[in-house]
Amino acid sequence: MSDTIPNDAPLQSVESNNFIETIIEADNKSGRWDSRVHTRFPPEPNGYLHIGHAKSICLNMGLARKYGGKFNLRFDDTNPTTEDTEYVDSIQADARWLGADWEDRLFFASDYFEQMYVYAEDLVNKGLAYVDDQNGEEIRENRGTVKTPGVNSPFRDRSVEENLDLLRRMRAGEFPDGAKVLRAKIDMAAPNMLLRDPLIYRIRHAHHHRTGDQWCIYPMYDWAHGTEDSLEGITHSVCTLEFEVHRPLYDWFLDKLEVYHPQQIEFARLNLTYTLMSKRKLLKLVQDGHVSGWDDPRMPTLSGLRRRGYTASAIRGFCDRIGVARRDSVVDVQLLEHCLREEMNLTARRVMAVLDPLKVVITNYPEGQVENIECQNNPENEADGTRMVPFSRELWIERDDFLEDPPRKFFRLGPGREVRLKHAYYVTCDEAVKDDDGNIVELRCTYDPDSRGGSTPDGRRVKGTLQWVSVTHGVDAEVRLYDHLFSDPNPGDAEDVTTVLNPDSLVVKTGCKLEPELGAAKPGDSFQFMRHGYFSADSEDSTPERPVFNRTVSLKDSWAKIQQKD
């Protein structure tokens, strides 16, 4: 992978504090957590990580790094039916790729199932939890609405003994799914609906990818999450804003259990234009075959972005740039693209590729002659040196670099017009050869032998510079041009996201011609194809015999333009 930024590079800007850093620094000053900082990233292993998760990882990991603290990776694997070890593996690989380091602190909620159960008995013993025999529908109905209070369950006043007995029998597997639940006894009239006797355990006779058939009761999110944080000694439990309404419950559980109690802090989740950020909806796209998989280069997943050619450092830079706030907003996806371009501009070799080839024959160039032309690899990085590219009598140029009847402002080739071939010679077009149907199949040109390197003794100037590839030396390749997966800037708003899929999100070009060195590109190697954009060799399909390149981004930096105007 062409990611050259070391993994210990800062994940968060050290320049100005975000609001969470302000909280941490105040805590460190007051000695609230004995000056410890301990964060975590708690994904549910029910899908691949996406760019939104990257924000959360960079934030949590960055805080630990900035304050010399610790960072845990914890799988919130409390829902056996949607989770899978495939996701457990991919999440670790992607988080590591991004630069996260949890050292030896890889945890699973399922490791705490026994302790969580002990805590649940504790709540029962304290008279703060009860077994409810109502079914799901009754529970929902009796919860009330935002305007009306809920109704107490007829089972709410069971004795501690009866509750304990029933809970143990739930655990022992005596009851079928849905027959009973364990609920916290809080307040059925609480204005915050989440406090109306929330569920703690439900019965689910399901096989778990780690605990097998050991359990048939599984903890609910709110119960599990706080106890996990507590058991791991987390100090600042950072989560997204939608959990703000859950905080009173997080606090209630830990207060009533009288255990170590981290502080939950909410921040605004990342939303990106033209991008879907829900694992559930992304899974559906995969299952229904709208994309080739979780790592389809159009997916906002880390594996998709990586395959597309994004580097971990560009994604980290993006997460740093967008910052951390408490107000929801939508970030323009062009900023993400801009961050990639900015990096690639400094690191990517400029190479020549012709995506829609038209043959040029230089009639006054000796047959069989080959010159090796020295080409600068990257004007932004002198140290990257030069490479030799073969030039010969027959070349490919881009088909749309020739017009039979060019308008005045068209500075490329036309009958009688002269252009510069990048790094090589001036050529003038003498004739366009057509087939029987009138299609142009070849241009016949003459070159000026004194113009090598791009200037002439008479100081004659030309405006157009074209890239080219030698016909006998060029490499055939497939090039995949990507656009946004969705045509709607807010695909998440659509009832059915398949109605806003962009039909042109992938254009496959075969028979493209690349300069010879690109035949040796390794998966993930990135280049600037001059005048076309940044491209990366596909990690799945590219071979030396048949290179396949993905366009990561085009060269047009609309974001930079927007910034200039402001």
Say how many C-beta atoms besides its own lie within 10 A of residue 218's C-beta: 23
205 or 280: CB nearest Mg ion:
280
269 or 531: CB nearest ligand ATP:
269
Tell me if 38 contacts ligand ATP by CB under 6 A: no
Q: At what angle do helices 221-231 and 247-257 cross, to 10 degrees?
A: 60
Which one of 125, 278, 498, 499 is in contact with ligand ATP (CB under 6 A)? 278
44 or 111: CB nearest ligand ATP:
44
> Of Mg ion, ligand ATP, none, which one does residue 52 interact with (CB within 5 to 8 Å by kind)?
ligand ATP
Across 162-173, b (16+ Cβ under 10 Å) vs e yields ebbebbeebbee
Tell me if 490 contacts ligand ATP by CB under 6 A: no
Which one of 151, 188, 259, 277 is in contact with ligand ATP (CB under 6 A)? 277
132 or 222: CB nearest Mg ion:
222
Which one of 279, 306, 341, 349 is in contact with ligand ATP (CB under 6 A)? 279
Report, in Å, the least distance between residue 43 CB and Mg ion: 8
Tell me if 329 contacts ligand ATP by CB under 6 A: no
Contact between 548 and 309 (Cβ < 8 Å): no
Which one of 11, 33, 42, 299 is in contact with ligand ATP (CB under 6 A)? 42
Q: Where are the beta strands (DSSP E) in 310-370?
A: 349-351, 353-354, 357-362
Report, in Å, the least distance between residue 441 CB and Mg ion: 57
> Residues 128 to 157: which contact ligand ATP by CB under 6 A?
none
Rounded distance between C-alpha atoms, residue 32 and residue 177, angstroms = 43
263 or 526: CB nearest ligand ATP:
263
> Burial level of 89, CB count in 10 A (0-12/13-18/19+)?
exposed
Residues in a beta bridge with 400: none
For 381, residues 6+ apart whose C-beta sits below 8 A from its C-beta are 346, 347
> Of ligand ATP, Mg ion, none, which one does residue 421 interact with (CB within 5 to 8 Å by kind)?
none
Rounded distance between C-alpha atoms, residue 339 and residue 313, angstroms = 9
Binding mask 225-244 for ligand ATP (x = CB under 6 A): --------------xx----
Residue 155 tokens, joined: 């089972």
Tell me if 530 contacts ligand ATP by CB under 6 A: no
Tell me if 55 contacts ligand ATP by CB under 6 A: yes
277 or 506: CB nearest ligand ATP:
277
> Of ligand ATP, Mg ion, none, which one does residue 55 interact with (CB within 5 to 8 Å by kind)?
ligand ATP
> Residues 279 to 318: which contact Mg ion by CB under 5 A?
none
> Of Mg ion, ligand ATP, none, which one does residue 309 interact with (CB within 5 to 8 Å by kind)?
none
Please list the helix, strand and coil fractions of the chain in percent, rounded to the nearest 5, in that order: 30, 25, 45
3-state secondary structure of 91: helix
44 or 133: CB nearest Mg ion:
44
Binding mask 56-85 for ligand ATP (x = CB under 6 A): x-----------------------------
Report, in Å, the least distance between residue 97 CB and ligand ATP: 16
Residue 187: C-alpha distances to residues 156, 162, 194, 417 (Å): 11, 21, 10, 84
> Of ligand ATP, Mg ion, none, which one does residue 40 interact with (CB within 5 to 8 Å by kind)?
none
Tell me if 308 contacts ligand ATP by CB under 6 A: no
DSSP one-letter string for 2-25:
---S-TTS-SS-SSS--HHHHHHH
Q: Which stretch binds ligand ATP (CB under 6 A): 275-283, 336-344, 384-392, 514-522?
A: 275-283
280 or 434: CB nearest ligand ATP:
280
3-state secondary structure of 526: strand
> Residues 168 to 187: which contact Mg ion by CB under 5 A?
none
For 359, residues 6+ apart whose C-beta sits below 8 A from its C-beta are 394, 395, 396, 441, 442, 443, 471
236 or 420: CB nearest ligand ATP:
236
DSSP one-letter string for 52-82:
HHHHHHHHHHHHHHHTT-EEEEEE----TTT
Q: Which stretch binds ligand ATP (CB under 6 A): 51-59, 100-108, 119-127, 521-529?
A: 51-59
Rounded distance between C-alpha atoms, residue 308 and residue 95, angstroms = 17
Amino acid letter, 45: P
3-state secondary structure of 380: coil
Q: Which stretch binds ligand ATP (CB under 6 A): 52-60, 136-144, 409-417, 464-472?
A: 52-60
Rounded distance between C-alpha atoms, residue 170 and residue 166, angstroms = 6
3-state secondary structure of 106: strand
Binding mask 24-53 for Mg ion (x = CB under 5 A): --------------------x---------
44 or 101: CB nearest Mg ion:
44
User: Nearest 5°: CA angle at 283, between 280 and 289?
Assistant: 145
Active site residue ranges: 44, 269, 279
Q: How many residues bind Mg ion (CB under 5 A)?
A: 1
Report, in Å, the least distance between residue 52 CB and ligand ATP: 2
Residue nearest Mg ion, CB atom distance: 44
For 259, residues 6+ apart whose C-beta sits below 8 A from its C-beta are 119, 227, 230
Tell me if 246 contacts ligand ATP by CB under 6 A: no
Rounded distance between C-alpha atoms, residue 72 and residue 61, angstroms = 9
Tell me if 283 contacts ligand ATP by CB under 6 A: no
Rounded distance between C-alpha atoms, residue 211 and residue 229, angstroms = 20
Tell me if 262 contacts ligand ATP by CB under 6 A: no
Using CB under 6 A as the criterion, which residues of the chain lie in contact with ligand ATP when the complex forms? Answer: 42-44, 52-53, 55-56, 239-240, 269-270, 277-280
Using CB under 5 A as the criterion, which residues of the chain lie in contact with Mg ion when the complex forms? Answer: 44
